[in-house]
Chains A and B, each alone.
Chain A
Amino acid sequence: MSRLKNTFSNKKANLLNVYFTAGFPALEDTETIIRSLAESGVDVIEVGMPYSDPMADGPTIQQSGMKALENGMSVSVLFDQLKKIRKEVETPLILMGYFNQMMQFGETDFLARCQEVGIDGLILPDLPLSVYENEYQDLFKQYDLAPIFLITPQTSEERIRKIDQLSQGFIYVVSSAAITGNSKEISPEQVAYFERIEKMNLRLPRMIGFGISDHQSFSTACQYADGAIIGSAFIRALENGNDDLNHTIKTFVKGIRNN
């Protein structure tokens, strides 16, 4: 978790978090993707554990997950891959997936293995805040893992305060009422929502995600938060890119940063 904390204390603006689905496009691409993202100067890397029923994800991430599962990706395969690449890369790594995956691995074993392979934080959208607080908070602390929770335009102020207390690392600000992968321009209502959250002076840094797809949406989001998260747009770039994964990734990140 210290890698995550350091990242946010060393850099205060324009942080870029990129999501990819592990096992996509090919089973063995995890190392290449993480290495290229790190070399491109991405600040946080979010590794998606492909899931059969990802209820918060849009078609792009769903399809990449189905492909990854067909390719043979599993939680244990992913852990082995991460362990290798962690020796080369210092960028914070966040694992994103669904609670059932952690449950079936065995909650304690899963968290212990996360720490062992160098994971810094976890995003499990369907792990309820109350269940985390009552059952898993101590385990997350024991294994030095940051729980990262989401807030949405509908989340009450009281609940945002609670999420700010219970989360570590950063708060995931969901940009609109949506699943992942919608890419529309950021609307005045969204800006009002970002400003409302900004004025709350939360303890943790804020990263805006969902619907961030290009330089323009990234830089707009960065005006109202510490940084932003890109997922589906990156998956699409991997899909449409040529065989040189490294080149595709570096071009993509450059496009987001500099236009």
Chain B
Amino acid sequence: MISISEEGYYGRFGGAFIPEMLHPNVEEIRKTYVEMIQDEVFQKQFRQLLRDYVGRPTPLFLAERLSEKYQTNIYLKREDLCHTGAHKVNNTIGQILLAQRLGKKRIIAETGAGQHGVATATVCALMGLPCVVYMGAVDIERQQPNVSRMKMLGAEVRPATSGSQTLKDATNEAIRDWINHPEDTHYIIGSVVGPHPYPDMVARFQSVISEEIKWQLEAATGKSNPDLIIACVGGGSNAAGAFYHYLNEKEVRLIAVEASGLGVDSGESAATSVLGTEGIIHGSRTLLMQTPDGQIIEPYSISAGLDYPGIGPMHAHLIQSGRAEAVHITDQEALNAAYDLSKREGIIPALETAHAFAALDKIEYKKTDVIVINLSGRGDKDLDTYIKHLG
């Protein structure tokens, strides 16, 4: 049985390893989030926004030509059709409502590729709240279109100039901002990472993905359970959402796809489940890439959304306990999968998502199987990279 404990542990992983300065804020959310999410008024607001603003339910699409290629039955959960172009907005809608209930007047967020930053800036514009997004100085350079989108939406983008100047440093800066503004600010974390209750809270907001898959698949095939669900994992929010309602349905295989960059053993990788060891990152006990001395190592992937040195505690538990299977995909394999999907189905996926598609070449399945791939985001933001590597 996969579940989370009162203290926020999935098996050995999770918890809240935070400085005292963050204790009152995190404790306030911990004490109220479940009740708040289950509250009828909250649910009504949340559901309405997901429908009318985000455009949910997103379609479940039978990809016939892809199915023909792989000689099986492949359905795509079209999170790329969400407003702002990825699943990230499911969570930011939930958290902005939470922030309002807590009476917070200012929103902060971290972002890597910029998708979560855009999704946060979007809901802040919607609710008229000021928004500061921390982004690694290196990522600001390589994800310019999303930086411009955030600015156009009225957010302030602050470069994280410490450390390696990427996602983990943006997260550190956001945490420091929260320490400096404990009373008026809510921190919208973008993935199933961070101190408890963030991993569980974000998973609950994203769980709408698997909630929809259940009834959509039932309508399409007569069975609500697929044989496999495939999703890419950086921190792991889209995978958490796609797996959520199937966690305790053991006959459903859960495939977590990590980015192995130039190869798992190349030294340029983000394959946390094999390269990581148990430790603490951003307030959570989980698997992370680190030196024997406990210094966190900067990972590498062509996809800015997957190059995070940790993995959400739920996924660490799912993989270590054998409930989920980890698959590793290189930059080149992801690029090839993106080009193939574009031509075969007319869908340009985000680079992160392309890793999930490449996994079809790595796993075993039967001809009669029903496979759901979570198409977590669209590839507009990655066009430069795609064009550059098209050769």
Find chain B residues with CB under 8 A from A56 CB.
19, 21, 176, 179
Find chain B residues with CB under 8 A from A69 CB.
295
- Interface flag for B290 (CB, 8 Å): yes
**Contacting pair A131 B17 (CB below 8 A):** yes
Residue of B169, B179, B282 contacting most chain A CB atoms (<10 Å): B179
- Interface flag for A103 (CB, 8 Å): yes
**Contacting pair A55 B182 (CB below 8 A):** no
Find chain B residues with CB under 8 A from A240 CB.
none
**Contacting pair B176 A55 (CB below 8 A):** yes
**Contacting pair A150 B180 (CB below 8 A):** no
Find chain A residues with CB under 8 A from B294 CB.
51, 75, 98, 100-101, 103-105
CB within 8 Å of A: which B278-304 residues: 278-283, 290, 292-296
- Interface flag for B16 (CB, 8 Å): yes
Please judge, given known A-B contacts A52-B295, A126-B280, A155-B24, whether A131 and B15 are in contact too, CB under 8 Å: yes
Q: Could you tell me the distance between the alpha carbons of A129 and B20 in the complex, rounded to whole angstroms?
A: 9
Q: Could you tell me the distance between the alpha carbons of A229 and B389 in the complex, rounded to whole angstroms?
A: 54
Q: Could you tell me the distance between the alpha carbons of A51 and B295 in the complex, rounded to whole angstroms?
A: 6
- Interface flag for B18 (CB, 8 Å): yes
**Contacting pair B290 A128 (CB below 8 A):** no
Q: Could you tell me the distance between the alpha carbons of A101 and B280 in the complex, rounded to whole angstroms?
A: 9
Find chain B residues with CB under 8 A from A174 CB.
20-21
- Interface flag for A142 (CB, 8 Å): no
Residue ID in chain A nearest B179 by CB atoms: A179
Q: Could you tell me the distance between the alpha carbons of A100 and B281 in the complex, rounded to whole angstroms?
A: 8
**Contacting pair B182 A154 (CB below 8 A):** yes
Find chain B residues with CB under 8 A from A152 CB.
20-21, 182
A197 → chain B closest CB, angstroms: 14
**Contacting pair A128 B16 (CB below 8 A):** yes
Q: Could you tell me the distance between the alpha carbons of A104 and B292 in the complex, rounded to whole angstroms?
A: 7
CB within 8 Å of B: which A76-98 residues: 76, 98
- Interface flag for B168 (CB, 8 Å): yes
Please judge, given known A-B contacts A177-B179, A177-B181, A178-B179, whether A52 and B163 are in contact too, CB under 8 Å: yes
Please tell me which one of the listed residues A76, A103, A130, A156 contacts residue B24 in the complex, with CB atoms under 8 A apart: A156
Please tell me which one of the listed residues B7, B17, B176 contacts residue A126 in the complex, with CB atoms under 8 A apart: B17
CB within 8 Å of A: which B4-37 residues: 7, 15-21, 23-24
Please judge, given known A-B contacts A62-B162, A75-B294, whether A178 and B23 are in contact too, CB under 8 Å: no
Please tell me which one of the listed residues B17, B180, B279, B282 contacts residue A128 in the complex, with CB atoms under 8 A apart: B17
- Interface flag for B384 (CB, 8 Å): no
Find chain B residues with CB under 8 A from A75 CB.
293-294
Find chain A residues with CB under 8 A from B24 CB.
154-156
A102 → chain B closest CB, angstroms: 8
- Interface flag for A253 (CB, 8 Å): no
A209 → chain B closest CB, angstroms: 12
Interface size on A, residues (CB 8 A): 42
- Interface flag for B172 (CB, 8 Å): yes
Q: Could you tell me the distance between the alpha carbons of A169 and B292 in the complex, rounded to whole angstroms?
A: 31
Contact string against B for A residues 228-246, beta-carbon threshold 8 Å, 1 for contact and 0 otherwise: 0000000000000000000
Please tell me which one of the listed residues A99, A103, A151, A182 contacts residue B20 in the complex, with CB atoms under 8 A apart: A151
**Contacting pair A128 B172 (CB below 8 A):** no
Q: Could you tell me the distance between the alpha carbons of A59 and B162 in the complex, rounded to whole angstroms?
A: 8
**Contacting pair A177 B163 (CB below 8 A):** no
B229 → chain A closest CB, angstroms: 32
**Contacting pair B21 A53 (CB below 8 A):** no
CB within 8 Å of A: which B235-293 residues: 277-283, 290, 292-293
**Contacting pair A125 B180 (CB below 8 A):** no
Q: Could you tell me the distance between the alpha carbons of A205 and B162 in the complex, rounded to whole angstroms?
A: 35
Q: Could you tell me the distance between the alpha carbons of A130 and B15 in the complex, rounded to whole angstroms?
A: 11
- Interface flag for B183 (CB, 8 Å): yes
**Contacting pair A99 B179 (CB below 8 A):** no
**Contacting pair A74 B179 (CB below 8 A):** no
Find chain A residues with CB under 8 A from B23 CB.
154-155, 159
- Interface flag for B50 (CB, 8 Å): no
* Residues of chain A at the chain B interface (Cβ within 8 Å): 51-56, 58-59, 62-63, 66, 69, 74-76, 98-101, 103-105, 125-131, 149-152, 154-156, 159, 174, 177-179, 182
* Residues of chain B at the chain A interface (Cβ within 8 Å): 7, 15-21, 23-24, 162-163, 168-169, 172, 175-176, 179-183, 277-283, 290, 292-296
Given contact pairs A58-B176, A156-B24, a sample of 12 additional A-B residue pairs in the complex whose CB atoms are under 8 Å apart:
A53-B163, A54-B172, A55-B282, A100-B280, A101-B294, A125-B20, A151-B20, A152-B21, A174-B21, A177-B179, A178-B21, A179-B179
- 5 smallest beta-carbon distances between A and B, as pairs: A104-B294, A125-B19, A100-B280, A52-B295, A150-B20
27 contacting pairs across A/B (C-beta < 8 A): A51-B294, A54-B172, A55-B176, A55-B179, A56-B179, A58-B176, A59-B162, A63-B162, A66-B163, A69-B295, A98-B294, A100-B296, A104-B279, A125-B20, A126-B17, A126-B18, A126-B283, A149-B20, A152-B20, A152-B21, A154-B24, A155-B23, A156-B24, A177-B21, A177-B179, A177-B181, A179-B180
